[in-house]
Structure 1
Amino acid sequence: MNSASAVHPNTRWNAWHAARNILVVRLDNLGDVLMTTPAIQAIRQSSPQARITLLGSRSGAALARHVPAIDDVITYDAPWVKGASHGDLTDRRLLTTLRRGHFDAAIIFTVCTQSALPAAMMCRLAGIPLRLAHCRENPYDLVTDWVPDRDECREGMRHEVARQLDLVRAVGFHTANERLVFRYAATDVLNMRRKFTAAGGDLNRPYIVVHPGATAVSRRYPAERFGIAADGISRDTGCQVVYSGGHDEQALVASARAAMSAPSISLAGQLTLGELAALIAGAQVTVCNNSGPAHIAAALETPVVVLYALTNPQHTPWRARAHVLNHDVPCRDCLKSTCPQGHHDCLLKVQPDEVMEAALDLIEAPPPVWAPPLPLRAATPALAALG
């Protein structure tokens, strides 16, 4: 046994709590970074004097200005992460940037199907003395504090938020508030309202938000069905239907709107991330796929109906008023960006009237009675500290 593995956990905790310049690494999508915000908040609350820098993809780094616990951001589209493109930093420039950052510690957040070792190698080469990560295989000296990764992608696995909270607890970082964190500015609200009105919306009437896009084709419910469901919600509630999406999702929004008989509003391609959050915050309900807006809605405590493809189970809205809709299939947890069976039954067998009924239930349901946050769990995950 490595002698360092026998060190009392509190000895390791002291080293981590002494760190004043901490790098947090989350290299995948915006929604993944958002699900990591409770863990980042735990770092901030446990070490209020520390400077926290996010190393994130171009998509994920956009969230940094909306998370007060993050002081700075380094943008890097890593070649070992799915869907990465040519980023702002090459590998050598990233290494130089990390060295110049003089970080005391690095925490590498990954989903269970990713390896933390490429990022750990970069951090080690940059001279960062403390390095924490989940690892399935023994990382030896690539990380100094190793939490063995026992997660498997299957029904009943722990939620992604819980996974990252457990990681930072292993070195003594805790928080009493485990909610997702997203903040937007007053200017975001004002700009959203101006665009809302310019698009033909009435700020004095209630509205719902419909977001038909998702990065992976396998996670997209048919846009036309979103339109059919939205039409029914509008008819039964009188709510305005407001569509959101990126520039590249305008065709999906057009298809959804074409399926409606009621008028609708499109803000696709018009909103910044903060403005989208302001829009979602004011909605009666958000209806979307398993994508970033689902997690923004959860962070802002807006009710959300999620068309949740069964590609992986651990990314449902965290502690939200939500209905998660899908049809069970034997090929669930496939982890594929395109349905490998070609039938897409996990979503296609969900009918628009089910979506409508789920939304109506959330609109009509009273908000839950406030309850204090759950107490911290006494136990921490197994930690093997490497020399």
Structure 2
Amino acid sequence: MAVIDARWAQVRRLLVVRLDNLGDLLMTTPALAALRQALPQARMALLASPSGAAALPHLPMLDEAIAYDAPWVRSSAGDGAQADHALLQRLALAEFDAAIVFTVCTQSALPAALLCRLAGIPLRLAHSRENPYGLLSDWVRDADQVQTGMRHEVQRQLDLVRQLGIDASGGPLVFQVPSAHARRLRQRLAAASGSASRPYFAVHVGASAASRRYAPEGFAAAADAIARLSGLLPVFTGTASEQALVEQVRSRMAMPSLALAGALDLGELGALLAGARVLVANNTGPVHMAAALGTPVVVLYAQTNPQHTPWQVPARVLFHDVDCRHCLRSTCPAGHHDCLARVAPADVAAAALELLQAGAREAA
């Protein structure tokens, strides 16, 4: 049985820091769940990007969320220095006992560690490649390298928590959908398609980085084939800014489809993914939402980073291997985008149909 570090066993107010995208936060939820189980007495606050903080109603292990655009993670809007000072004051007034900074291996935890130190938080745990000296009370040397076979992002965060003597043996991602969001989603489906009960599959064609986007014509051909062979309705998701991209895909399709890009809040998107027979998507946040909800996933997985494949859910990860794999770039540095461009739409459709058939056999 694990024995929790005595210093941490007494924590009553815990700050957990995850400042990047929603998908990264979701891949941290098994570690957060382990913390909640080990420290039931602690009030747990999340410091996150605005997109991460918006997930608070869906993460039951958390008590509160603080939104912050960290300048060392993304470009901040507005007066960054003023926002930094305001956050520091807020953290100091909260009198946290401890902070855990979760990062990917290409990020530095030290700016957040310094912020926590200045806020008077005595216990501070994080991975760090360089010696943090007094910035961290609990230092885990970061030995991860971006390469084939490296540990999964979820495992990285579980291993960090395990350093405290906490039993963090793993588990599924967490994203809960309140019943009110599911009801609203049914109403939207009924209004948009005339039926809230027609079986469907979900398609998410967007991604924050161009290097992680499969071509619109590829999505169109794949979605057409899946719809024709399965009889399921393709339902397209996305943000309001991705509506034009969704329409590019739909305009190339022969089969009827439904577009809900920009029409759903986060909970409604979760309800949509929970009800989908399968999700076809780029490597982006909805993939990890679907994994948390148990929905099978076909992911068009650009070879930019190997850590973020679907976790503990039936999945097919499709890519074409390239010499420039693991480039960590937002646009293809070689200009050919072969890691995705050379994935045939027929293979995407075949992967989705295979998952659908497996799901049908399990349900029988």
Q: Would you say same fold, with TM above 0.5?
A: yes
1:257 aligns with 2:257: no
Residue 212 (structure 1) aligns with: 205
Q: Which amino acid aligns with 2:30?
A: P
- Per-residue CA deviations over 1:60-88 (Å, capped at 9, x if unaligned) read 11112110001001110000003444489
Distance in 1 (CA, whole Å) between partners of 2:269 and 2:157 is 26
Q: Which amino acid aligns with 2:29?
A: T
Residue 268 (structure 2) aligns with: 275
Residue 193 to residue 218, structure 1, CA distance change in 2 (3 Å): same
CA RMSD in angstroms, aligned pairs only: 1.7
Residue 75 (structure 1) aligns with: 67
Residue 164 (structure 2) aligns with: 171
**In the TM superposition, what is the alpha-carbon distance from 1:150 to its structure 2 partner?**
0.2
1:196 aligns with 2:189: yes
Residue 225 to residue 204, structure 1, CA distance change in 2 (3 Å): same
Distance in 2 (CA, whole Å) between partners of 1:86 and 1:53 is 24
**Alignment match of 1:49 (pick from 41, 48, 55):** 41
**In the TM superposition, what is the alpha-carbon distance from 1:368 to its structure 2 partner?**
9.2
**In the TM superposition, what is the alpha-carbon distance from 1:176 to its structure 2 partner?**
5.2
Residue 304 (structure 2) aligns with: 311
Residue 40 (structure 1) aligns with: 32
- Per-residue CA deviations over 1:154-189 (Å, capped at 9, x if unaligned) read 110000000000001101222455210010111101
1:294 aligns with 2:287: yes
**Alignment match of 2:23 (pick from 25, 31, 36):** 31
**Alignment match of 2:313 (pick from 304, 307, 320):** 320
Larger relative contact order, structure 1 or 2 (CA cutoff 8 Å, min sep 6): 1
Distance in 2 (CA, whole Å) between partners of 1:229 and 1:257 is 11
- Per-residue CA deviations over 1:31-66 (Å, capped at 9, x if unaligned) read 000000001101100011110000001111111211
Residue 331 (structure 1) aligns with: 324
**In the TM superposition, what is the alpha-carbon distance from 1:218 to its structure 2 partner?**
0.4
Matches within 5 A, 1:351-362: 351-362=344-355
Q: What is the aligned residue count?
A: 361
**Alignment match of 1:151 (pick from 138, 144, 167):** 144
**Alignment match of 1:95 (pick from 85, 88, 91):** 88
**Alignment match of 2:53 (pick from 20, 41, 61):** 61
Structure 1: unaligned runs, 5 residues or longer: 1-8, 370-387
**Alignment match of 2:356 (pick from 363, 368, 378):** 363
Please give the TM-score of this superposition, normalised by the length of structure 2: 0.96
- Per-residue CA deviations over 1:274-323 (Å, capped at 9, x if unaligned) read 10010011111000000011001100110000000000000000111000
Q: Which amino acid aligns with 2:74?
A: K
Distance in 2 (CA, whole Å) between partners of 1:117 and 1:268 is 37
Distance in 2 (CA, whole Å) between partners of 1:276 and 1:137 is 40
Residue 46 to residue 205, structure 1, CA distance change in 2 (3 Å): same
Q: Which amino acid aligns with 1:19?
A: V
Distance in 1 (CA, whole Å) between partners of 2:304 and 2:76 is 20
* 8 A contact 1:285–1:359 mirrored in 2: yes
Residue 225 to residue 19, structure 1, CA distance change in 2 (3 Å): same
Residue 36 to residue 346, structure 1, CA distance change in 2 (3 Å): same
Distance in 1 (CA, whole Å) between partners of 2:77 and 2:59 is 24
**Alignment match of 2:220 (pick from 223, 227, 231):** 227
Residue 38 to residue 85, structure 1, CA distance change in 2 (3 Å): farther
SS at match of 2:65: strand
Distance in 2 (CA, whole Å) between partners of 1:221 and 1:201 is 30
Residue 110 (structure 1) aligns with: 103
